[in-house]
Amino acid sequence: MSERAQFVTRLGAIAATVGSAVGLGNIWRFPYEAGVNGGGAFLLIYIGCVFLVGIPVIVSEFVIGRGTHKNVAGALKQLAPGTKWHWVSYMGIAASLMILSFYSVVCGWIVEYLFQAITGNLSGHSAGEYSAMFGGFVSHPWRPVLWTVLFLCINFWVLRRGIKRGIEKVSNFMMPILFLILLVFIVYALTLPGAADGLKFLFLPDFSQISPKVAIGAMGQAFFSLSIGLSCILTYASYFKDSDPLMRNATVVAVLDTLVALLSGIMIFPVVFSFGMQPEAGPKLVFEILPNIFQQLPGGYFWSVLFFLLLFFASITSTISMSEISISFFMEEHKMSRKKATSVNTGIALVFGSLCALSFGVLSDFTIFGKTLFDLFDYASSNIMLPLGGIFFAWFVGWYVDKRFLDDQLTNFGTSTVSVWRKPLMFCIRYFAPSVIIIIFLYGLGLFDALL
């Protein structure tokens, strides 16, 4: 263990885990998923999933990762020798590479917008012009690919510097600034005429909107946003110290991540309604809305550059965390050097990321199951593979691992007292979380329609 990296401080460990969770999932994906899935009804299921399914799965991943200080495959092999449990890790690794591929495309859009903000091209347009601008950019034959590749090169460079110097440092100081800047934008958004309609859309559930699609979307969003079900935070927890409090860390991560998503919704929807735009716009939603917010603010140039810069940092702390899954796997299970493992990870993402980058233009007609590659990677990983992974991790910790091992992890080897939350948490890990995921899956498959 001694030569394996660890996060230096407890705060560093939390900051890095929050850094993984908070990213485009909160600021880009949450508002657009809430928008296409009817607002309040989606939010209700989303929050239920975060607290009743998400926290139990986070703790399960923490227990496996911190308890073994190994990559996901190594951890499962150690805890369940001679079984097929480690196969779960392959699904997680595949999901991480799929997410990295399409996520890097959106990160590329961020870099393009940062570039446009710096060169002053982002102000002085009408709402329609912003839509046209975004449409023109994403369907361009090579520009989105260029930025995706550039982004992956930066990601590669950060990863090469290793766990402490690269990841921990960046995470520690970027997150609080992002939080503050969201608050500034919210103050502006809430003063717009019609802001209340946006808030109503987000917070007032219209129960008639609840459908299999909405439930699956909300559950997938919870998994995606918390970075769970693919062993991402399992891998981070393998760098935790034995004294880090797991249940408390899990709660802090879930609460902060949800708060950022909510803040982002409170910033976006008032603007959407105030400017008469469509909440169902999909992936392009925030890219059309944000420039409009900036140009109305005094010092718009400054705000736009700062915001895209912070968004860039928020997303890179997420991409390095998803890359770390396969890198730690290649290094520890296949004895690769960090450099080689990082190159393999980046190489795969370069190929699939470039293809995903073309999904809005040249390859928009190339569809599988009616979805472009970008949409397919997003849908299959977030809505199917991550929740499936969540069932496996919760089941593994709830029913399979040794009681003594679990006890040691939840009490930090007997050094902390047993929390009052332990019983409800174990109930959720063993019964509730796996059942909810299965019920939502069955509902999504239309099984209940057949019964009713």
Contact flag: residue 390 with ligand PHE (CB under 6 A) = no
Residue position matching structure tokens 């399992």: 234
Q: How far is the CB of 113 from ligand PHE (least distance, A)?
A: 17
Angstrom distance (rounded) from CA 358 to CA 364: 7
Angstrom distance (rounded) from CA 105 to CA 85: 32
Stretch that binds ligand PHE, among 85-93, 222-230, 279-287, 297-305 (CB under 6 A): 222-230
Contact flag: residue 342 with ligand PHE (CB under 6 A) = no
Contact flag: residue 227 with ligand PHE (CB under 6 A) = yes
Q: How far is the CB of 24 from ligand PHE (least distance, A)?
A: 5
Longest dimension (CA), the chain: 64
Residue burial 68-100, b: 16+ Cβ < 10 Å; e: rest: bbbbbbbbbbebeeeeebbebbebbbebbbbbb
Binding-site member from 99, 199, 268, 306 for ligand PHE (CB under 6 A): 99
| Cβ contacts of 127 within 8 Å, gap of 6 or more | 275, 277, 288, 292
Closer of 21 and 59 to ligand PHE (Cβ): 21
Angstrom distance (rounded) from CA 179 to CA 307: 11
Closer of 99 and 406 to ligand PHE (Cβ): 99
Contacts (CB under 6 A) with ligand PHE, residues 26-55: 26
Angstrom distance (rounded) from CA 445 to CA 72: 30
Angstrom distance (rounded) from CA 287 to CA 134: 7
Q: How far is the CB of 403 from ligand PHE (least distance, A)?
A: 30
Contact flag: residue 224 with ligand PHE (CB under 6 A) = yes
Residue position matching structure tokens 């958004």: 189
Closer of 55 and 195 to ligand PHE (Cβ): 55
Report how far Cα 70 is from the mean position of its chain's Cα atoms: 22
Closer of 195 and 253 to ligand PHE (Cβ): 253
Contact flag: residue 98 with ligand PHE (CB under 6 A) = no
Q: How far is the CB of 382 from ligand PHE (least distance, A)?
A: 8
Number of residues that bind ligand PHE (CB under 6 A): 15
Q: Which residues bind ligand PHE (CB under 6 A)?
A: 20-21, 23-26, 99, 224-225, 227, 230, 232, 318, 321-322
